[in-house]
Chains A and B, each alone.
Chain A
């Protein structure tokens, strides 16, 4: 009889090479776990037949929650009874993924006892993904996780688990406290996290600076990216040190690579036209001992990015060019925006008018950014324009004042 703990054929080939292999991990789990054994068999069957044998289930969950569990069944349960049910649980992660080792050990213990002993840290969603358990084990797993202080999140037409970069905990570039902000939003929107009320999923992601380590500009329906408003702080002596001591070609590596060409280098001093700087951080990343972001710090709020599921991938567009991210967050004198109200207005409009399974970015594309801004009560700003219009055939309606001027 074949050894059910070892992969063979094409699946075994995935153990070769210098990289960590998921097959090796499943084999290790299969030493003790029958679900992992059948998972190897099922994967081998899929590789040989070039067919997926998973069925997506949509009903299983835990009491009261509309998210956190993704049902999975196989279409060959007689052959692989131990993965007949193989549901996924998504566990809400703490801000910036900081854990005590003891907490992770306890999660592993729960999953070894009640699941397949295979997990995904972290899934592209940001959550801990516990892969494979039966319907009967869902409530017990949920109960044990909540006793540890963890919660489920991250599936369904809900606010998906907010995630953030390491922020000020580990990074000098953080323009706002991303961890605190992610935690506060997770706690504030508990209902929206667990009880589906939207046309489709909605994600917040918080990046402390324009380097955007959580890729919020590409993955979040509402992206918060740290930035600054005043001038870049320049230490000219250090710039010279980079040029003379480190032999860094400032013209080629820094100035020529500036996307807005807002810098000049005369061999002695670096001049920055801050008005034309787009805060991309390239120069600061390269000359990090000489340049620092300004002191008037906050974040840019963008909207509408998504990965390709129903339609193509989209990047976020600027919604609020600058907002200070200091308590109480609600009212910002400089921009007069109220963040909770802005979020509510967006959800209200998209909830009312959005089509089934239409992400907010697709919704904006359908109705037009102008109409969207008008409906949520936000004034257009120059920073929202990504590039000048290329179509010369522009038609616009004259306002009353314009018409009067024309008559004169």
Chain B
């Protein structure tokens, strides 16, 4: 197996995907994993993808959303939300 990509690199690539698709497509964790395996063949695995998602979420750059299924998106105010009093 070739040298593994770093968690930071994968997190950046995931973030770009999510950012570019914002408002058009919602990514699930598994979609991101599949996209990374395609982008970095033989250089990422499931564990690395999980770590990268964890990094994106814990840093606050992305959030989990739940609309039936769970997605990973950029933080934003949702349409259903009422403004804070």
Chains A and B are bound partners? yes
Let me know if A158 is at the binding interface, CB within 8 A.
yes
Chain B residues bordering chain A, tally (CB within 8 A): 26
Let me know if B2 is at the binding interface, CB within 8 A.
no
Most buried by B among A63, A136, A197, A199: A197
Known: A65-B64, A66-B70, A157-B70. A59 touches B78 (CB 8 A): yes
Please tell me which one of the listed residues B28, B78, B81 contacts residue A196 in the complex, with CB atoms under 8 A apart: B28
CA distance A61 to B67 in the complex (A): 13
Closest to B73 in A: A59
Chain B at the A interface: mostly helix, strand, loop or mixed? mixed
Let me know if A70 is at the binding interface, CB within 8 A.
yes
Please tell me which one of the listed residues A61, A84, A136, A356 contacts residue B28 in the complex, with CB atoms under 8 A apart: A356
CA distance A231 to B30 in the complex (A): 46
Known contacts A71-B78, A195-B50; can you find 9 more A-B pairs with CB under 8 A?
Answer: A59-B65, A61-B66, A63-B58, A65-B64, A134-B84, A135-B81, A195-B53, A199-B28, A199-B30
Give the chain B neighbours of A261 by CB distance below 8 A. Answer: none
Give the chain A neighbours of B84 by CB distance below 8 A. Answer: 85, 134-136
Give the chain A neighbours of B76 by CB distance below 8 A. Answer: 59
Say yes or no: B29 contacts A197, CB within 8 Å: yes
Let me know if A57 is at the binding interface, CB within 8 A.
yes
Closest to A157 in B: B70
Known: A77-B82, A81-B85, A196-B29. A156 touches B68 (CB 8 A): no
Give the chain B neighbours of A198 by CB distance below 8 A. Answer: 30
Say yes or no: B80 contacts A63, CB within 8 Å: no
Say yes or no: B81 contacts A59, CB within 8 Å: yes
Interface positions, chain A 53-97, Cβ under 8 Å from B, are 55-61, 63-67, 70-71, 73-74, 77, 81, 84-85
Let me know if A191 is at the binding interface, CB within 8 A.
yes
Closest to A81 in B: B85
How many Å from the CB of A153 to the closest CB on chain B?
13
Chain A residues bordering chain B, tally (CB within 8 A): 38
Q: How many A-B residue pairs have CB under 8 A?
A: 93
Chain B residues packing against A (C-beta within 8 Å):
28-30, 50, 53-54, 57-58, 60, 63-70, 73, 76-78, 80-82, 84-85
Say yes or no: B82 contacts A157, CB within 8 Å: no
Please tell me which one of the listed residues B53, B65, B82 contacts residue A58 in the complex, with CB atoms under 8 A apart: B65
Say yes or no: A73 contacts B30, CB within 8 Å: no
Let me know if A200 is at the binding interface, CB within 8 A.
yes
CA distance A64 to B58 in the complex (A): 5
CA distance A87 to B73 in the complex (A): 20
CA distance A196 to B50 in the complex (A): 10
Closest to A57 in B: B80
Closest to A82 in B: B85
CA distance A196 to B76 in the complex (A): 19
Let me know if A295 is at the binding interface, CB within 8 A.
no
Interface positions, chain A 313-359, Cβ under 8 Å from B, are 351-352, 356-357
Please tell me which one of the listed residues A55, A74, A351, A357 contacts residue B30 in the complex, with CB atoms under 8 A apart: A351
Which 9 A-B residue pairs are closest in the complex by CB-CB distance? A66-B64, A196-B70, A157-B70, A58-B67, A55-B80, A156-B70, A77-B82, A59-B78, A84-B82
CA distance A84 to B80 in the complex (A): 11
Say yes or no: A156 contacts B64, CB within 8 Å: yes
13 A–B pairs (Cβ distance < 8 Å), ordered by A: A58-B65, A59-B78, A59-B81, A61-B63, A61-B64, A66-B70, A71-B78, A71-B80, A73-B81, A74-B82, A84-B82, A157-B69, A196-B28
